[in-house]
Amino acid sequence: IAGDGQLCYLKDTDEIAGMCEHAITELESYKMGSELTSVLAGAKAIRDGKVHVGKEFSVAAFARHAETDSGAKPVLLMPTCKRGDWRTAAHNIQKLL
Question: What are the 10-residue block averages of pLDDT along the chain, 97 residues in total?
Answer: 86 92 85 90 94 88 89 88 79 82
| CA–CA gap between residue 63 and residue 47 (Å, rounded) | 39
- In this prediction, residue 55 carries a pLDDT of 86
- Model-wide pTM > 0.85: no
